[in-house]
Amino acid sequence: METSGVLTARRRRFALVAGAVVVLLLIAVASWHLPFAGQWRETRAAAELLPAEPGAPGQWRRSADFAPAAPSMTGLRDRWTRVWKDSAADGHEPGFDETAHRFASPTWAWLTFRLGDPSDRYAEKYDRITEVPAPVPPEADEARFYCARFDGRPEECTRWYAWIRYGQYIVSVTADPLDDGTTPNRTGARLERILAEADRTFTTTTAGR
């Protein structure tokens, strides 16, 4: 009887411990997802979220469409890049590329937005990458814009980077200077229209969220 009582007590303790572990796991999962529960967008293929046309004046041609293998991002489920070139420019083809990333949840996108943005990934390529104040697109949860430049040309942005999060998605745009007279604080009208078209396409495609 004594042995049976000891076994019963052990089983009860095991059940209590197992129950506590399950509760803690549920709390952990809830803590991971709840802060961003209202940010989920409709699940769509990343390629569907990119504009079919740039939305800005120019003789644009689509030079590439592909699923990039890099960089590696934790929680990433789907990614697609579209590259545009403008053949209207004399002697060269300035352009831009746009990438849509779909993550497993808004939480993963939130973390990547902070830990993998362009200012970190491309810091070694330029002398300076500075964040440029810009309005967040109406339907986005957060956005950052960067000007990358070299010290020899401090008043010129060699490359523009936009990093925009919509729930479990991040949309990034990397652009050459597309307008005359752009400065580290002025992107230019064509890039502004490209960003507006990117936002319009994303929000229209995921309108059924």
Whole-number percent of the chain with pLDDT over 90 = 49
Are the CB atoms for 139 and 112 separated by under 8 Å? no
Q: Structural domain tally of the chain?
A: 2
Is residue 154 domain-shared with residue 193, that is, in the same domain? yes
Is residue 19 domain-shared with residue 55, that is, in the same domain? no
Are the CB atoms for 42 and 209 separated by under 8 Å? yes
Is residue 66 domain-shared with residue 79, that is, in the same domain? yes
Looking up tokens 């430049």 gives: 149
C-alpha distances out from residue 2 to 13, 49, 109, 192, Å: 17, 68, 56, 80
The two three-digit tokens of residue 84, written as one number: 């545009």
Is residue 120 domain-shared with residue 194, that is, in the same domain? yes
**Per-residue model confidence as pLDDT tens digits over 66-91:** 999 988 899 999 999 999 999 876 66
The DSSP element (H or E) to which 150 belongs, if any, is none
Is residue 28 domain-shared with residue 127, that is, in the same domain? no
Are the CB atoms for 198 and 170 separated by under 8 Å? no
Query: How far is the C-alpha of 116 from the C-alpha of 91, rounded, in Å?
Result: 34
Is residue 79 domain-shared with residue 29, that is, in the same domain? no
Is residue 7 domain-shared with residue 65, that is, in the same domain? no
CA 139 to chain centre: 14
Is residue 143 domain-shared with residue 179, that is, in the same domain? yes
Is the pLDDT reported for residue 132 higher than 60? yes
What pLDDT score does 40 carry?
93
Is the pLDDT reported for residue 124 higher than 90? no
Is the pLDDT reported for residue 34 higher than 90? no
Preceding omega of 177 cis (within 30 degrees of 0) = no
Is residue 32 domain-shared with residue 46, that is, in the same domain? no
**Domain CATH for 96:** 3.40.1000.70
Is residue 99 domain-shared with residue 152, that is, in the same domain? yes
The two three-digit tokens of residue 73, written as one number: 């991002």
Extract the runs of DSSP E, i.e. beta strands, from 74-158.
Answer: 76-86, 95-103, 128-131, 142-149
**Residue ranges making up the domain that contains 120:** 40-205
Q: What is the mean pLDDT of the chain?
A: 83
Is residue 44 domain-shared with residue 28, that is, in the same domain? no
Q: What's the whole-model pTM score? A: 0.80
What is the CA angle 73-75-79, rounded to 5? 65
The DSSP element (H or E) to which 63 belongs, if any, is strand 60-66
Q: Identity (one letter) of the amino acid at 135? A: P
Is residue 101 domain-shared with residue 6, that is, in the same domain? no
Are the CB atoms for 74 and 108 separated by under 8 Å? yes
Are the CB atoms for 47 and 62 separated by under 8 Å? no
Query: How far is the C-alpha of 176 from the C-alpha of 123, rounded, in Å?
Result: 17
